[in-house]
């Protein structure tokens, strides 16, 4: 989805709105000099600024519940994100090592015998790197296609933890043709390795329990505990 560009309704320049427009501020100050603070346009501008200042004092952060700031300026959220990132780096390194061990990378061929005894071969056609996280160790981030249906738009998904190194109910999986360890390691984005890839999205996702410190009673007492997430790759 393309990010919408803000355009000012006063000067028609992009990147800001009327409230933060320097030209509009100059216009108001010019009117103030000419007509004083009681000018309707000046008074409306001052009233709006006063309401914003009052709202800023009473607003509460949706992460920690404390007043005076939002999520963007929350020190506790930043600390939690850094703790997650740092530990996730270790997990992702272990994932890369496991991928290299099993030869899981672009072009890997995987054989499977499904629940009904039918043999199929799939090719790995993509890796959703941003979906590889310690909080979702069974994530289906390996994108595959049936080699008999490569022109098709349909893309299946496998989990490294359950399908490849563990057990996926209904099917048995085995790697037929491996990708080289060197190619696998080289394909990992730098942002994936340093833990920053997908980090903001994880904490924005309201489906994640660590999205906020608020518990189901409405109290902000759920301190983020990074230690509860394992950095090992599940092997069934």
- Is residue 32 within 8 Å of residue 25, measured between CB atoms? no
pLDDT for the residue numbered 2: 52
pLDDT for the residue numbered 184: 96
pLDDT for the residue numbered 141: 95
Which DSSP symbol is given to 138? T
pLDDT for the residue numbered 159: 87
- Is residue 175 within 8 Å of residue 109, measured between CB atoms? yes
Closest CA to 167 of 95, 111, 96, 235: 235
β-pairing verdict for 142-146 and 119-127: antiparallel
Can you point out the beta strands (E) in 136-171? 142-146, 156-158
Alpha carbon of residue 224 to chain centroid = 17
d(C-alpha 230, C-alpha 228), whole Å: 6
pLDDT for the residue numbered 5: 79
With 0-12 / 13-18 / 19 or more C-beta atoms within 10 angstroms meaning exposed / middle / buried, residue 181 is middle
| Strand-pair partners of 143 | 126, 157
Q: What is the pLDDT along the chain (236 residues), one digit of tens a residue?
A: 455 678 898 999 988 998 889 999 999 999 999 999 999 999 999 888 888 777 767 778 999 999 888 899 999 999 999 999 999 999 999 999 999 999 999 999 999 887 788 889 999 999 999 999 999 998 999 999 999 988 888 999 988 887 776 655 456 788 899 999 999 999 999 999 999 999 999 999 999 999 999 998 889 999 999 999 999 987 54
């Amino acid at each position: 989805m393309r990010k919408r560009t803000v355009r000012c309704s006063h000067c028609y320049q992009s990147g800001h709105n009327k409230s933060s427009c320097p030209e509009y501020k100059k216009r108001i100050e010019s009117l103030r000099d000419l007509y004083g603070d009681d000018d309707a346009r000046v008074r409306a501008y001052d009233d709006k600024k006063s309401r914003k200042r009052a709202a800023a004092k009473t607003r509460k952060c949706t992460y920690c519940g404390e007043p005076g700031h939002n999520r963007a300026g929350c020190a506790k959220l930043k600390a939690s994100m850094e703790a997650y990132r740092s530990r996730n780096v270790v997990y992702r390194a272990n994932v890369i090592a496991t991928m290299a061990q099993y030869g899981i990378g672009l072009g890997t061929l995987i054989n499977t015998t499904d629940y009904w005894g039918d043999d199929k071969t799939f090719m790995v056609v993509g890796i959703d790197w941003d979906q590889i996280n310690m909080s979702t160790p069974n994530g289906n981030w390996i994108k595959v296609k049936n080699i008999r249906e490569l022109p098709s738009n349909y893309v299946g998904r496998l989990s490294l933890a359950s399908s490849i190194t563990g057990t996926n109910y209904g099917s048995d999986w085995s790697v037929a043709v491996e990708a080289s360890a060197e190619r696998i390691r080289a394909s990992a984005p730098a942002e994936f390795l340093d833990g920053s890839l997908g980090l903001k999205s994880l904490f924005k996702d309201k489906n994640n329990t660590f999205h906020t410190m608020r518990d189901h009673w409405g109290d902000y007492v759920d301190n983020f505990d990074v230690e509860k997430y394992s950095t090992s790759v599940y092997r069934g």
